[in-house]
Chain A
Amino acid sequence: MDVAYPVGLVVVAAAIIIGFTALVREKDDLHRILLTDLAEILALVLIALVATDLAEALILPGLVVGISELMAVSEVYIAKEGLRAPTGPPFRIEVMNSAPGILALILVAYGIVLSGFTGGVIAAVGAVFYFMCRGHTEQFELIETVSGYAWAFWIGAFFIFMFLPGYWFFGVMIAGGAILLKVMAKMSLVGTMRGGGPDV
């Protein structure tokens, strides 16, 4: 950390100058959103440069806040420009009929093996792919409920860490499984809730 940190800071400072210069010169609103998203990565880089366990734990909320701000600004942009979803025949190719079952199964199974945040993301990619190819008429309220209960289990696992530290392995297992379910449910909602109708 003694040499790497100042060097990293210098690189980030140069990147910030480049990014802000680009933002000042850019006039197109859509491009400015993209540039802003790129610049926001630098905030995560600044946190990541600290390179401790705590910094690793801080990256996730930073990322979530950044993504939610990006989504809010994008919604404002869509409303501002009066953009609508394109109408016409939906996108279909042959692989979308044959692949989703087996591919989703593999991804979800591998995600369960990984568990935790990473596993949740991998399993969610499988779920999103399945929903994208097969369409979705499921009740999203059910997924949301599962996600809510998983969150409660996750918090419960933290209470085990705090009050019954001897049962830490039990707590790890509950937290890993619950966060897998929660991230997977949330991620699969992100891709599918739009365009489903008035449920947004």
Chain B
Amino acid sequence: MFNLPTTNIGGPELFVLEFGDIVTYFSPYTAALFVFALIFTVLAIVSRPERQVDFAFGGDAYYTKVVDPDLLRFQRFMAIACGLATLGAVTTGDVFNFTLFASMVGITNIGIVAAYRNRHVLNAAFQYGIVAMLASIPLFGGAAIVLASTGTLSMWELFGGAMAVPLIAKAFLVLGVMGEGMAPFYIAKAEITRAQGAPFILMVHVSSLLLFLRVTEIVISM
């Protein structure tokens, strides 16, 4: 369409690990995404949760809300799992594994958001859960159509340009990732960006952003 100067938009391979026809590899592009996800996973591991501060109106008094340690532990675990799933999604060389990692990001996002015992937040988490479940239809469907039309799921072979991947499969993949990566929308809807335990919410945004970047690379290269 635009006649890109190179067919390999991710850049030259830095590292290649072959499992049969499934090849795990790092290009400068995916390596950058990997490092970005790694930094935020480490941040989720080491960071202490913020405590919300309420000011008493008309005076100097303020008080901080108590963070329930159990919820905090659950949320931190979910944030770390979300980071690991994101790491997997940006590294993998297999279309179906990518869809599985994307679904795992969706599940952990539900977990991060659902750790609040607040009706509005739980409502948003529920709506997001429905969307994430429905998104697995186009997500897995896209991977299945790729497999049916080309006979392989290996990105290594699909990116070569010798195989024609139907447009509907690409559209399904993008649609599925849109559904799984929709969590920031629901976070904004429930206004929990500055809720207690705020650093873990960041993971939702990071994972969503990286999923979109990766699926863009996959769809353009195929």
Show the binding face of A for B, using Cβ within 8 Å: 5, 12, 16, 20, 23, 29, 32-33, 36-37, 39-40, 42-44, 46-47, 49-50, 52, 54-55, 58, 61-62, 65-66, 68-70, 72-73, 75-77, 79-80
Contacts and interface: CB of A to CB of B under 8 A. Distances in A.
A-side binding surface: helix, strand, loop or mixed?
helix
B119 A32 contact: no
A42 B133 CA distance: 11
Which of B114, B126, B143 lies at the interface centre, i.e. has the most chain A CB atoms within 10 A of its CB? B126
Interface residues of B, number: 31
B144 A36 contact: no
Contacts of B125: 76, 80
A161 to B, nearest CB: 11
A51 to B, nearest CB: 9
Contacts of B126: 29, 73, 76-77, 80
Nearest to B151: A52
A79 B137 CA distance: 26
A73 B133 contact: yes
Contacts of A58: 96, 143-144, 147
A40 B96 CA distance: 16
Contacts of A62: 100, 136, 140
Contact of B144 (A23, A55, A79, A80): A55
A115 to B, nearest CB: 25
Which of B104, B122, B140 lies at the interface centre, i.e. has the most chain A CB atoms within 10 A of its CB? B140
B84 to A, nearest CB: 15
A135 to B, nearest CB: 27
Interface string B137-153: 10111011101100001
18 contacts: A16-B137, A36-B130, A37-B133, A39-B134, A40-B136, A43-B136, A44-B140, A49-B148, A52-B147, A55-B147, A61-B96, A62-B136, A69-B106, A69-B136, A75-B114, A76-B114, A76-B125, A80-B122
Given A46-B137, A49-B148, A58-B96, A33 B130 contact: yes
A76 B129 contact: yes
B123 interface: yes
Contacts of B111: 72
B173 to A, nearest CB: 13
Contact of B110 (A16, A44, A76): A76
A137 B100 CA distance: 36
Contact of A43 (B106, B107, B117, B141): B141
Interface in B8-31: none
B103 interface: yes
B114 A43 contact: no
A50 B129 contact: no
Given A5-B148, A55-B144, A72-B114, A65 B137 contact: no
**Which 10 pairs across A and B sit closest by C-beta, in order of nearness?**
A73-B129, A43-B140, A80-B122, A46-B141, A47-B144, A65-B103, A46-B144, A43-B137, A50-B148, A36-B133
